[in-house]
Amino acid sequence: GVEIGGDTVGLITYMRTDGVQLAQEAVTAMRKQIQAEFGDQYLPVAPRIYQSKAKNAQEAHEAIRPTDIALKPEKVARMLNAEQARLYELIYKRALACQMSPAELDQTAVDLTDGKGQTLRATGSVLAFDGFLKLYKEDQDDAPADADDDSRILPPIAKGDPAKTRDVTATQHFTQPPPRYSEASLVKKMEELGIGRPSTYASILSVLRDRNYVKLEARRFIPEDRGRLVTAFLVSFFARYVDTGFTANLEEQLDEVAEGKANWRRVLRAFWDDFSNAIGQTKDLKISDVIDALDHDLGPHFFPAREDGSDPRACSACGTGRLGLKLGRYGSFIGCSNYPTCQYTRKLAVDGGETEDDSLKDGMRLLGQHPETGDDITLRRGPYGLYVQQGEPDPEDKKAKPKRASLARGMDGATLTLEEALGLLSLPRLVGLHPETGQKIEANIGRFGPYVKMGALFASLDRDDNVLHLGFNRAMDLIAKKQESVKTLGQHPKDGADVLVRKGRFGPYAQWGNIVANLPKGVEMTSLTLEEAVALLAEKGKTLAPRGKKGAKAKPAAKAATKPAAKPTAKPAAKKPAAKSKAKPAAKATTKPAKAKKTA
């Protein structure tokens, strides 16, 4: 909404709808606006009425339109940001155009002849009356695949008009595969199939990107390897539930429940019985079964056919092994069947600082020697990406491992220099000392990416930051922003440990060691004192559950503390089963007009 005359005014009607009907008062106002702005020739005799062709359309609300047609885009643009102004202009023009007269196009074939038997033909449309196109013309994601598509617009031309030769180019056309889905075409397809609702389309598209199932290139969705893996798994073991027909049918059943035509208990029971059985069938599956199924389905993608006809799965390191999909501690990767004799591995997907490099076909590349120790500095490929290594393992001391460092985000393995590799191996890097506290400020790379650290305070680096060249001012800025979310109140009187107040996901909270307590409603972080925090922790403090290995060991320890029974006195109870969960100048031109109408 925008503020007009001291009142906040909503610019558009409810946006989560695929309804195409318009309120009568809105249609009347639009027709008055069209007549006043464009003239009678652009106003149809009767209002235009539309019907939805979408399956399972939700038409409880009218179509998206401006709440007041008098609020033109240029009038409200100054009150909106650039994206909002463009969106409002689109909604305004499309809504107004839908009540304008249709455009009239002459379907025309133009024959150009040179008098020597040479004839060139162009087919297309000549705009006779622009109609709604005077205001609004819809863009297309995909250009017509056929060069002679009748939908192309030709200039006005009459029989006998002289033609001039400009440039003549000979082009060869090949049959192209169907274009990948864009956001608009994917939503249109889901509408055709009856999948999803207007309120869910945006979240579906965002989940595809947020979970790295796809990436957006030139406004097209390109599947990522993670998305291929998830899809292959679901199609292999839950084919029924990812079938578009099943999803659309379930949407229809839920609509019937909402309309009171179906019993919701029966609908849910029928779904759950089959679904729980499908889950039960996967309980006995081994990981190897799943990996083999994925390896079979995704083989043509990960191992495309070679031009020389050789085996695309042949290991380039040992020459005798067969490459296949493997599962490791940190996810899936491509590995050799001769493991552990051959330790060749490569990532499934390559992104960021993990770019493929042809010089790494043998798994490593020498960058140079360390200036002090003389050790070889190598770039290697591991199951989790590219990394640099100093020296080699000591055959006599198997516990001693050479120093290694993963490539930082944005680094290219093909162009990595010795200096950059040495910089990675020297991490953590001292950036400077805090001017007030004198604490060290260090930059390093951790499990979740590059970061800057001061004491117990950690702040992640942005995508444009370079961990090897991060300046002191930038580091201080990151630390300062992080300090806004964490404040030290003082030392606890019992053990002298710091009492902190932090910004949390569900609001600010106080922390002392592993004990936390949410701040009362209305209490700000800046106003909380040490005494208040100590009292709050004593009264409402909760102990955080341990994480990682410590948490895993906590349960067995508790069991060991229980007193064992001396001797069983009765038979153990039976276990209860778990619930199922270019041409020459032409002499003349002939036309063959045919009228056609185009509507908004």
| Catalytic center residues | 14
Question: How far is the C-alpha of 326 from the C-alpha of 143, rounded, in Å?
Answer: 42
Tallying the residues shown for the chain, one arrives at 600
* Chain position carrying tokens 């770039």: 379
Rounded CA separation 582/215 (Å): 40
Is the alpha carbon torsion for 88, 94, 99, 102 positive or negative?
A: positive
> What gap in Å lies between CA 92 and CA 135, rounded to an integer?
10
Helix, strand, or coil here: 413? Answer: helix
Q: What six digits make up the tokens of 255? A: 């609509």
Which residues are CB-contacts of 516 (< 8 A; sequence separation ≥ 6)? 509, 510, 537, 541, 542, 544
| Omega cis (within 30) before 428 | yes
Pairwise CA distance, residues 500 & 536, whole Å: 12
Partner residues linked to 4 by β-bridges: 7
Candidates 234, 241, 192; CA nearest to 213 is 234
Amino acid at position 577, single letter: P
CA distance 390 to 212: 33
Of 400, 231, 220, 217, residue with least CA distance to 301:
231
Are the C-beta atoms of residues 600 and 96 closer than 8 Å to each other? Answer: no
* Phi and psi, residue 120, nearest 5°: -120, 140
C-alpha closest to that of 237 among 289, 295, 282, 301: 282
Please say whether the beta carbons of 319 and 328 come within 8 A.
Answer: no
Distance CA 445, CA 424 (A): 9
